[in-house]
Chains A and B, each alone.
Chain A
Amino acid sequence: MGTMGAAAFAALAACGSGSTSSSTGGASAGSKASGVVTFGSNQSDAVPKQAYADIISAYQAQSNGVTVTTNTVDHNTFQENINNYLQGSPDDVFTWFAGYRMRFFAEQGLAGDISDVWGNISGQSDAMKGASTGSDGKQYFVPFTTYPWAVFYRPSVFTAKGYTVPKTMDDFYTLSAQIKKDGLVPLAFADKDGWPAMGTFDQLNLRLNGYDFHVSLMAGKESWTDQKVKNVFDAWRKLLEVSQPDSLGRTWQEAAQSLQKGESATYVLGMFVGQQFTAGADREDLDFFTFPEMDSNIGTGAIEAPIDGFMMASKPKNPAGAKDLLTYLSSAKAQEVYVKGDPTVIATNSGADTSTYTSLQKKAVDFIGSAKNISQFMDRDTRPDFASTVMIPAIQTFIGNPSDVDGLVNSIESQKKSIFAS
């Protein structure tokens, strides 16, 4: 116990020396953290909830004085109440997402500046730091886990039927014709909940128009009536021909099951698709490839990989303790505990031990590591009100009636103007 305490103290002292000169966190990072830190978690499912409990007890064992009270709230309720929650009396540290969703709350003054914490963080890449930075250049977020969006498939099905992984969209359509002939659905598809199809839009837009256009379109800086956007919908209309029909009545879980049963050959989704596969041999038989190339000038360097992590309340009751906990959560050690419990995500800390990773997790590490650009996800990269009240109905309208692209983009653009104006 004595040695552990000393080690923790040494670590804290190191924090202190790192940031004593900075004006921001002198009081907090310099003094020793103690007291109670409250932690608001949206991880209400049994497995992640237990993993968090393990992390917190590991933290308390080495923190030498800080106790953490965890308030777990149902995932959807947490998201829907985030505004009230942050304006009421939020927990000192809470779970959230990177990207526009983080910047939005930082800009409203509802999140605490943790730039000084970043002085003590190691193993998080510059890309991770960028994704944690608000529009004012300060950091407001600590990355914890991430997972890629890609085209998932079962290697056993591909081997049995003699399919090869398509590199370009032309390859994919050639393959799709063969898959159809074999009596399978080429591409599983579901959009009952409104958000999964956003991922398909993102992939098509990244492949056709590139990362920079995608980001600036999401930021409201491009016109949705631009020919580039129409091209995305035109390409999507073609893709719908090989996609699972009746997607608006199907949840992503049901679509994932059709992949799992071998009724569909591929599925564009996040790595959480693995949750619908039972652990063991079934889950081992799951692999992915990047969304095929559509324009050789653009290539496939841009991928989508949302980052989940933590933020600090703007006025935490225990700032020193909160920052200490955040530093711990950014560490490889804490993240290793979590990813063991949930093998459909990977740690964001490059120092995390990957030897216990599943082959899918290992592949995700390489995939994200070698990406040139990483986008978050439509509802994390744009204004939340635009994503949920305009884009969800618009995409569902498109899926129901893919022919009227002009009317659709005009409607999106005029709604965008009214929302981004406020």
Chain B
Amino acid sequence: MVAIPSIVVVGLIWLPAISSVILSFTKWNGIGNISADDFIGPTNYRNVATNYPPFWPAMTHNLIWLTVMFLVATPFGMFLAVLLDKEIRATRVYQMALYMPVVLSLALIGFIWQLIFSKDNGLLNAVTGSGIDWFGDQRYNLWAALVATSWRQVGYIMLLYLAGLKAVDQSLREAAAIDGCSESKAFFRVIFPVMRPINIIILVVTFIESLRAFDLVWIINKGRNGLELISTLVTQNVVGEASRIGFGSALATVMLLISSVFITIYLRVVMRVDR
């Protein structure tokens, strides 16, 4: 019975991951078979770090992305979930409104934010009278993209967290109320700690979503000019006519290494819970 999941995991996750690592030491262009003289050692990694201008900006942007998601978007989503959990009037309407961005297709989200941020025809500049080139100017476009992404992330986290909150034993709240806890105290001292499993999931989701961050910047400008992310660089090099499979694999391996740090932390935390 374990055989099928194992085959799936090995076939769909480990094999591609290991192949990427092997390919990252080649100069294979994706055409024909790999031969011995395609192997060029760590040259791709050296090129990534020293001879590829978009790489370090991409690392920085990924880090900024993670920080904003972790410190702004995710806590805000959790905050909204707590508010909505209080059974306020028309809570379903709010839930739907906030969750809407998560259901919309990314092409549509890109289009919506284009209408808002476009320099010449955008809503934002029309209303404020500013002439800022939101998506074209490197000083602003990352932040504009982050606003658009947070819009989605908040709804996503909110729904996950709301589900968790609904599952919290009602008697805990009552006990806290009887003991005279203020609402915020009850949340931080009682509810938040018992929600540990869901908190970990939220944490992992935030990390993974930030590392995978791709779709929106790809729709905006294919991840160039101030919107470089590791994932877009991988795509630019591997997908399409460029076909620098070896070079792109080196970038993918860098990404794999970074994410495995988080996965290791996650696994350790989960294991400890189980014990």
Listed in ascending order, the chain A residues whose CB lies under 8 Å from chain B are: 79-80, 82-83, 87, 101, 108-110, 192-194, 246-250, 254, 258, 384-385, 388-389, 392-394, 396-397, 400, 411, 414-415, 418-419, 422
Contacts and interface: CB of A to CB of B under 8 A. Distances in A.
B222 A193 contact: yes
A165 B63 CA distance: 51
Interface string B40-64: 1001000100011110000000000
Nearest to B240: A80
Contacts of B137: 246, 248-249
B7 to A, nearest CB: 24
A101 B242 CA distance: 11
17 contacts: A80-B241, A83-B30, A83-B31, A109-B32, A110-B31, A193-B221, A193-B222, A246-B137, A248-B225, A249-B137, A254-B121, A385-B237, A385-B241, A393-B54, A411-B51, A415-B52, A422-B29
B119 A249 contact: yes
Interface in B211-240: 221-222, 224-225, 236-237, 239-240
Nearest to B47: A418
Given A396-B225, A400-B138, A422-B29, A258 B120 contact: yes
Given A192-B136, A392-B224, A415-B51, A384 B141 contact: no
A254 B120 contact: yes
B152 interface: no
Contacts of A194: 221-222, 224
A110 B30 CA distance: 12
B120 to A, nearest CB: 6
Contact of A250 (B51, B136, B138): B136
B243 A384 contact: yes
Nearest to B114: A251
Contacts of B31: 83, 87, 108, 110
Contacts of B52: 415
A394 B239 CA distance: 20
SS class of chain B's interface: helix, strand, loop or mixed? loop
Residue with the highest number of chain A CB atoms closer than 10 Å, among B237, B243, B246: B243
Nearest to A412: B53
Given A254-B121, A388-B240, A389-B236, 8 more contacts: A83-B30, A193-B221, A194-B224, A248-B136, A249-B118, A393-B224, A400-B225, A422-B40
A249 B136 contact: yes
B161 interface: no
Contacts of B30: 83
Nearest to B134: A249
A403 to B, nearest CB: 15
Contacts of B242: 384-385, 388-389
A72 B29 CA distance: 26
A385 B136 contact: no
